[in-house]
Amino acid sequence: MQERRERVLHALASGPISGPELAEKLDISRAAVWKHVETLRQGGFEIESTGKGYSLISIPEFGGPTIEFGLDTSYDVEYHDSIESTNKRARELATSGESNLVVVADEQTGGRGRLDREWTSPSGGIWLSIVLRPAIPPHHAPIYTLAGAVATTRAIRDVGVDAEIKWPNDVLCDEQKLVGILTEMEGEADRISWLVVGIGINANVDTEELPNERATSLRELVGDVNRRELTQKLLEAFHELTADREEIIPAWRELSSTLGKRVRIETPSETIVGKAVDIEFPGTLLVDTGAETKAVTAGDCEHLRPAD
């Protein structure tokens, strides 16, 4: 958020504070104070003005300034009520040189999953894409998908949902899909030029709007959640994890429901069936097929019942 607007908000939050006091405190004109207050009101912030001055009464549940307000990371937020795909927008921004930025939307009209599959994204969800430029080789990129899954699972557990990670990139509750993650990148053989981690959470949406009965939403599981708080927790956890990447694999192991299960994995070249025994940096699943231990780097994973 614009630094001045953030300071205005903080001052109003501990208000009431009069226009002239605010102007003096921030070293701006009274007209500028009034403009900031009006812009914030238009953005859905409820600001009361009484004889004693301005006070912040409430902040919107979702939106750009509301996510940025109090967010403990250096990410800027670009918010859209409706957009084709936050990943598509994030790729454009990445290509034009942006970094440390999050594109967030309430609704996507052309959301995408892996392999260009459709991702249903009705209004009320949390559809977001983080743009980064980490100094890593392309084959390390999966660790960022894992970090996204860990951060999202932690934020969802905080609202009381028993979320677990299915390798490589889904967050489930009782085997139903709550979250999908799509990581895209561009780079050369030895170094990434940009990375986009796209995360889609079925938050305050009806399950009738989702594509199949294997999908669920937070609304269905615990009722509507505060998307601002959830998004902030997710971004803060993601930021922390990617700053200390050693932490990601152990955290993933703890939150994953895949390890220890029998799985069937469809890779572009083969089908692997066996027991998922461990995960290795940067996100390789080790599957014991009985005959050998296979290291699987990518594919669609299905959890099997022991008898399957």
Query: Should residue 231 be labelled a site residue for ligand BT5 when binding is judged by CB under 6 A?
Result: no
Which residues, including other chains, have CB under 8 Å from residue 9's CB and lie 6 or more apart? 40, 45, 56, 65, 69
From 36, 91, 112, 166, residue interacting with ligand BT5 (rule: CB under 6 A) = 112
- 47 vs 178 by CB, closer to ligand BT5: 178
Q: Which of residues 244-303 bind ligand BT5 (CB under 6 A)?
A: none
Stretch that binds ligand BT5, among 19-27, 54-62, 115-123, 261-269 (CB under 6 A): 115-123
- 37 vs 90 by CB, closer to ligand BT5: 90
From 45, 62, 79, 119, residue interacting with ligand BT5 (rule: CB under 6 A) = 119
Nearest to 78 by CA among 91, 65, 69, 88: 65
- 24 vs 92 by CB, closer to ligand BT5: 92
Rounded to the nearest whole angstrom, what is the least distance from the CB of residue 166 to ligand BT5 in the complex?
10
Residue 237, token pair as written in the block: 């956890």
From 36, 66, 129, 183, residue interacting with ligand BT5 (rule: CB under 6 A) = 129
Cβ atoms of 192 and 143 closer than 8 Å:
no
Rounded to the nearest whole angstrom, what is the least distance from the CB of residue 39 to ligand BT5 in the complex?
27
Query: Should residue 117 be labelled a site residue for ligand BT5 when binding is judged by CB under 6 A?
Result: yes
3-state secondary structure the chain: CCHHHHHHHHHHHCCCECHHHHHHHHCCCHHHHHHHHHHHHHCCCEEEEECCEEEEEECCCCCHHHHHCCCCCCCEEEEEEEECCHHHHHHHHHHCCCCCEEEEEEEECCCECHHHCECCCCCCCEEEEEEECCCCCHHHCHHHHHHHHHHHHHHHHCCCCCCEEECCCEEEECCEEEEEEEEEEEEECCEEEEEEEEEEECCCCCHHHCCCCCECCHHHHHCCCCHHHHHHHHHHHHHHHHHCHHHHHHHHHHHECCCCCEEEEECCCCEEEEEEEEEECCCEEEEECCCCEEEECCCEEEEECCCC
Task: Decide the pairing of beta strands 101-108 and 76-83.
Answer: parallel
Rounded to the nearest whole angstrom, what is the least distance from the CB of residue 239 to ligand BT5 in the complex?
18
Residues in the chain: 308
Rounded to the nearest whole angstrom, what is the least distance from the CB of residue 33 to ligand BT5 in the complex?
36
3-state secondary structure of 211: coil
- 58 vs 95 by CB, closer to ligand BT5: 95
Rounded to the nearest whole angstrom, what is the least distance from the CB of residue 139 to ligand BT5 in the complex?
20
Q: By rule CB under 6 A, what string of x and - marks binding of each residue 60-99 to ligand BT5? A: -------------------------xxx------------
Rounded to the nearest whole angstrom, what is the least distance from the CB of residue 170 to ligand BT5 in the complex?
6
Rounded to the nearest whole angstrom, what is the least distance from the CB of residue 192 to ligand BT5 in the complex?
18
- 115 vs 291 by CB, closer to ligand BT5: 115
- 177 vs 227 by CB, closer to ligand BT5: 177
Q: By rule CB under 6 A, what string of x and - marks binding of each residue 170-209 to ligand BT5? A: x------x--xxx---------------xxx-x-------
Question: Which spans of this chain sit near ligand BT5 (rule: CB under 6 A)?
Answer: 85-87, 108, 111-115, 117-121, 127-129, 170, 177, 180-182, 198-200, 202, 210-212, 215
